A and B are shown apart, each in its own frame.
Chain A
Amino acid sequence: MADLQDEPHSVGIGAEDLPAPAGPGTQASTLERAAALLSVHPVADGCNTLVWTLRQSPYHDIETPDAGVDTDIPRLRAGGVGAQFWSLLVPSQGGPGEGAAGDRVVSETLEQIDAALTLMRRYPDSLCLALSADDMADARNRGRIASFLGPVPGRTLTDSLGALRAFHALGVRILAPAGAPWAQETLTAFGHEVVQEANRLAILLDLTGCEPAVAHRVASASKAPVIISNTGAAALNPHPGNATDEVLALLREAKGLAMVTFDTARTGDSLHAVADHLDHVRAVAGPDCVGLGAAFGTEPPGPRPTGLTDPSGYPRLIAELLDRGWPESDLALLTWGNALRVIRDTEFTARRRLQSGPAGV
């Protein structure tokens, strides 16, 4: 059943309503083709930080367009977003004004989870908690935005796999090792345990921000594909937050996913620059391992590429890629298929591992 749900043309109305392929040509027609493609293969975006932003500035109703934040439901809808990983990272822990500095990492994550769940309860017609690939397909079929919780920061585990299992029980499905004491210069023995337990629970590992050496260790320790939820190509812009070709090749080998961000500092100041990064990542990691992770969810004015200043910009980007000759099948993988496949592969890995042994402690 799950596989049938993955196949958009089996759900009935979609197939016959698809517009006829437009003839070769005009700019307007590629935008129409992009919109048509997104209606069947919506965007599964790897990074949005709205949860934190709304906690700092809670007086926004995201059902109505609001200049105060770059993400709201009308613009997610206009952009064709069908799934979103809601980041639960916080900018910095133990900063000024934090009473017990540094000793609130766990509670801080629980507060982020609570805020994300509150957001979903508040907009049930638009956002729908997703715990699995099946949920992701179901949400699309019901016209909801499948909402995955994560990543949570690796340091929030302190030294406890029990905490990881608690986060999983609360709905978290993505973990980012960067910055954790067990993933500093290499992966410690406990870090290996974390990776194994994440595999067992079907939690995605997000290598964003990891040193290449650590990224390599995590990718080889993990039995499931790993992702980078927001990045650019270091070959085009040697920003420390961008993935090197070596790491991109690693993801290709691991059948993972590199999700390209829309960030002036990392991917340049225009839609064309972002498309250049996508071209490069697709060339190095392969069409099966490239995705989108814009990292919206901030309070403008932020430095955003022109044409991609909020989530309503995705159709323009897809149109640009059509103009660059990306086949529609590759675009369907870019927007939706690769993310769904990585989540499903992670679940298959977990089922295999569940049969092979009990939980660590």
Chain B
Amino acid sequence: MSAAQRLAEARELLAEHPVVDGHNDLPWALRQQVRYDLAQRDIAGDQSAHLHTDIPRLRAGGVGAQFWSVYVRSDYAGDEAVSATLEQIDAVAQLIDRYPGDLVRALTADDMEQARADGRIASLMGAEGGHSINNSLATLRALHLLGVRYMTLTHNDTIDWADSATDEPRHGGLTDFGREVVREMNRVGMLVDLSHVAATTMRDALAVSVAPVVFSHSSARAVCDHPRNIPDDVLALLPANGGVAMATFVPKFILPAAVEWTLAADENLRTHGFHHLDTTPEAMALHRAFEAERPRPVATAATVADHLDHMREVAGVDHIGIGGDYDGTAFTPSGLDDVAGYPNLVAELLARGWSTADLAKLTWSNAVRALRDAEAVAREVSATRGPSNAVLQVPSSK
């Protein structure tokens, strides 16, 4: 079969079994670029000059369901974090209202199936980081009522009740309150997302959760040793849990050469007195000079496929999915440049001998099943357990 034939076959497959993508940061991009002035970024047309995401490219990519991230910055805390999260949720609602022929609000697995049958993109929401609930379980319930269907327990920073993968650990995983957060998420039917969290937090959450968990955008640590990826022992827990690990495309997490390159680039900025996330013109000029001297390693669809091959091996074909992180990352793999790229990944997997049935699980049915199972658990748990009003016991510092 030629490459062109494989691509045609991939598109055919996606028409039937579209992609459920676990993580897309379009809402944050719209907040940063145009303060939610949706008219300035009309995604009904081509927005490739500004965004990875627009409706024509989602359609071309075969996307049938999207978890829109209602992420807010990890250094936001207290009211600022909660308000900003409410604004992100509001922006998703406005997007859905604005494009009713293409996007449809989805709160359940049934809604996802209905959207697929109607030829619209099921639009779900995921919160990215426990800082969004300000240590308040009632706030967690409010997010659920407003439509949020997963919450990543942390973002880049360790919070009062959970350790992050990319910050100093303070708790050795989850605290007692953190475990209560997981139980309350199980009770209301919000998926526990373990991307971004420390491996200790992953293991603690898997021990507590009676519902399937997700990794909305994380790949395999055995293939590329980065803390944002999932260790094999955790992947091996997914069959018993029923959860889904959704492989991400972020080159600096998935390609070892890109990990090294990023470390060196960050170090270069720091030695010149800048913070490694600085985007001022001076810092960017320095960064470009570095890149001119040392070309940035480029990931491809094959890089992602390497992760998926391994994840299928360890977690099993029923426990893998896709979470691109589009509009949440500066660089994307060649061939997976934007949301139109998914067929290239499916074609790569076809070339590696993945069966149609396995690919259908990867793209669509595993994620839908995880949400459906979480709904069933919520019905069962909420029959015997009322809302939790536990509060975080902050050790007094004075």
A-side interface residues toward B, CB under 8 Å? 99-100, 103-107, 110-111, 113-115, 118, 157-160, 162-163, 165-166, 169-170, 359, 361
B87 to A160, Cβ gap below 8 A?
Answer: yes
CA distance A113 to B80 in the complex (A): 19
Known: A158-B80, A163-B86, A165-B90. A106 touches B37 (CB 8 A): no
A110 with B79: CB separation less than 8 A:
no
Residues of B with C-beta under 8 A to A99: 135, 392, 394
B82, B93, B94: the one within 8 Å of A106 (CB) = B82
Q: Let me know if B141 is at the binding interface, CB within 8 A.
A: yes
User: A166 CA to B139 CA in the complex, in Å?
Assistant: 12
The winner among B90, B134, B387, B392 for most chain A CB atoms within 10 A is B90
| Bound Cα distance from A205 to B165, whole angstroms | 46
Q: Compute how far the CA of A243 lies from the CA of B35 in the bound complex, rounded to whole angstroms.
A: 40
* Chain B contacts for A359, CB-based, 8 A: 94
The digit string for B77-118, where 1 denotes a CB below 8 A from any CB of A, is 111101110111111011000000000000000000000000
- Top 6 A-B pairs ranked by shortest CB distance? A103-B78, A162-B87, A114-B138, A162-B90, A111-B138, A166-B86
Residue of B nearest to A361 (CB): B36
Q: Kindly identify which residue among A115, A158, A165, A170 contacts B79, using a CB–CB cutoff of 8 Å.
A: A158
Residue pair B86, A104 in contact (C-beta under 8 Å): no
- The answer to whether A106 touches B394, judged by C-beta atoms less than 8 angstroms apart, is no
Chain A residues closer than 8 Å to B94, beta-carbon distance: 359
Residues in B neighbouring A169, C-beta threshold 8 A: 93, 145-146
Chain B residues whose CB sits within 8 angstroms of the CB of A160 once the complex forms: 83-84, 86-87
Min Cβ gap A169→B in Å is 6
A100 and B134 CA atoms in complex are apart in Å by: 10
Q: How large is the interface on B (under 10, 10 to 19, 20 to 34, 35 or more residues)?
A: 20 to 34
Asked if A113 contacts B394 (CB within 8 A), the reply is no
Most chain B CB atoms below 10 A, which of A103, A106, A361: A106
Instruction: List 20 A-B residue pairs with CB atoms under 8 Å apart, sorted by A's residue number.
Output: A100-B78, A103-B78, A103-B134, A104-B79, A106-B79, A106-B86, A107-B138, A110-B138, A110-B139, A110-B142, A114-B142, A158-B80, A160-B84, A160-B86, A162-B90, A163-B83, A163-B86, A163-B87, A170-B145, A170-B146
B136 at the interface (CB under 8 A from A): yes
Instruction: Contact check, A104 vs B142: say whether CB atoms are below 8 A apart.
Output: no
Given A103-B79, A104-B134; A111-B87 close (CB under 8 Å) = no
**Further pairs besides A110-B82, A160-B83: 11, Cβ < 8 Å:** A100-B78, A104-B79, A105-B79, A106-B139, A113-B142, A118-B387, A162-B88, A162-B90, A163-B87, A166-B146, A361-B37
Which residues of the other chain, A, contact B80 by a CB distance below 8 angstroms?
Answer: 103, 158
**B185-198 vs A: 1/0 string, CB under 8 Å?**
00000000000000
Look across to chain B and name the residue whose beta carbon is closest to the beta carbon of A171. Answer: B145
Annotate B228-255 by CB proximity to A: 1 below 8 A, 0 otherwise: 0000000000000000000000000000
B78→A104 contact, CB < 8 A: yes
A166: chain B residues at CB < 8 Å are: 86, 89-90, 142, 146
For B394, what are the chain A residues with a Cβ–Cβ distance below 8 Å? 99
Instruction: Give the complex CA separation of A170 and B136 in angstroms.
Output: 16
Give Cα A20–Cα B394 distance, bound, in whole angstroms.
65
What is the chain A residue whose CB lies nearest that of B391? Answer: A99
Q: A103-B78, A111-B139 are in contact. Are A158 and B134 (CB under 8 A)?
A: no
> Closest chain B residue to A118 by CB distance?
B387
- Asked if B77 and A111 sit within 8 Å, CB to CB, the answer is no
Q: In the assembled complex, which residues on chain A have CB atoms less than 8 Å from the CB atom of B145? A: 169-170
Contact (A110, B90) CB under 8 Å given A162-B83, A169-B146: no
How long is the Cα–Cα vector from A115 to B139 in the complex, in angstroms? 11
What's the Cα separation between A162 and B70 when bound, in Å? 13
Shortest B67–chain A CB gap in Å is 19
Instruction: Report whether B387 and A170 are in contact in the complex, using a CB–CB cutoff of 8 Å.
Output: no
Q: Which residues of B contact A159 (CB under 8 A)?
A: 83
- Most chain A beta-carbon neighbours within 10 Å: one of B36, B82, B88: B82
* Residues of A with C-beta under 8 A to B35: 361
B127 CB to closest chain A CB (Å) equals 13
Which chain B positions have C-beta within 8 A of A111? 136, 138-139
Contact A110 B136 (CB under 8 A): yes
Complexed CA–CA distance, A169 and B88 (Å): 14
B351: min CB distance to chain A, Å: 45
In angstroms, how far is the closest chain B Cβ from the Cβ of A56? 12
Which chain A residue lies CB-closest to B387?
A: A118
Contact with A along B124-157 (1 / 0, CB 8 A): 0000000001111011011001100000000000
* Most chain A CB inside 10 Å of its own CB: which residue of B36, B88, B138: B138
Bound state CA distance, A163 and B132, in angstroms? Answer: 13
Give Cα A169 to B92, complex, Å.
Answer: 13
A158–B84 Cα distance when bound, in Å, is 10
State the Cβ distance, A182 to closest chain B Cβ, in Å: 14
- Give the residues in chain B near A170, CB-CB below 8 Å: 142, 145-146
Q: Is the CB of B141 within 8 A of A114?
A: yes
Instruction: Tell me, rounded to whole Å, the shortest Cβ–Cβ distance linking B270 to chain A.
Output: 31
Cα–Cα distance between A165 and B145 once the two chains are bound (Å) = 13
Kindly state the separation between the CA atoms of A101 and B22 in the bound complex, as whole angstroms.
36
Chain B residues with Cβ below 8 Å from A113 are 138, 142
Residues of B within 8 A of A158 (CB): 79-80, 83
A106 to B82, CA, bound (A): 7
A154 to chain B, nearest CB (A): 14
Closest to B89 in A: A166
CA distance A107 to B135 in the complex (A): 9
A151 to B330, CA, bound (A): 43
**Nearest-neighbor residue (CB-CB) of B393 within chain A:** A99
Inside 8 A of B78's CB, which chain A residues have their CB?
100, 103-104, 107
Contacts A104-B78, A114-B387, A169-B146 hold; do A162 and B134 have CB atoms under 8 A apart? Answer: no
The complex places the Cα of A166 from the Cα of B145 at a distance, in Å, of: 10
Nearest A residue (CB) for B98 = A358
User: Do A115 and B86 form a contact, CB below 8 Å, given A99-B394, A107-B79, A170-B146?
Assistant: no
A205 to chain B, nearest CB (A): 20
Chain B residue, CB-CB nearest to A108: B136
Inter-chain CA distance A212–B392, complex, in Å, is 41
Give the nearest-CB partner of B147 in chain A: A169
Docked pose: A163 CA to B135 CA in angstroms: 18
Which residues of the partner chain A approach B88 to less than 8 Å between Cβ atoms?
Answer: 162
- Residues 29-78 (chain B) with a chain A CB within 8 angstroms: 35-37, 77-78
Which residues of chain B (376-398) have a CB below 8 Å from chain A? 387, 392, 394
